[in-house]
Amino acid sequence: MGAGRPLLMESPTYWGAILAAEQAGVEVIPVPSGVNGPDPADLVRAFEQTGARAFYAQPTFANPTGIQWTPDLSAEVLDVVRRFGAFLIEDDWAHDFGISADPSPLAARDDGGHVVYLRSLTKSVSPAVRVAGIVARDRPGNGSWPTLRRSPCTSARSCRRWRSTS
């Protein structure tokens, strides 16, 4: 995934994720999401037609719909991602909002390094706190992840400057 490459995104989805992808030059390909989440058959077609290598989604309390995927749908989507050797970028921004629900990240069921898990504390702690984490496991037999560089990004402007020099 990178500039000019396709990224499948659950639609509708968080406008900030769409904006970030577009600013990075990624081609956003919407995958329709209904009242229960995306249809795995639509996801299969999108992977086949675009050659995308990643799918961005919010399985737990999706923004703006509030949808929470069922365990069965989560398993089906993860199976599709595995079948195409792709990644699911799981944005779990609202994990702490489950009052009667017990959210279980797809990343917890990923045994093959296909889920990149994003977790934010911004909404659950305070809008003034901009803390997030990313968890990505190496795929078995792949060796180790490349060394990651620390981003000095503190704003959209500094991120653009950093990307243009790296």
pTM of the model: 0.78
Bond before 146 cis per omega within 30 degrees: no
Of 108 and 28, the structure prediction assigns the larger pLDDT to 28
Looking at the domain 6-165, which fold is it? Aspartate Aminotransferase; domain 2 (3.40.640)
Specify the pLDDT at position 147: 39
User: CA dihedral in degrees (34, 40, 42, 46; nearest 10)?
Assistant: 130
pLDDT tens profile 5-15: 999 999 999 99
Domain ranges in the chain are 6-165
pLDDT band at 143; cut points 50, 70, 90: very low
pLDDT tens profile 72-115: 999 999 999 999 999 999 998 776 666 666 667 888 788 888 99
Cα–Cα dist 28/4, whole Å: 10
Specify the pLDDT at position 48: 97
Closest CA to 117 of 95, 98, 136: 136
Cα–Cα dist 130/75, whole Å: 31
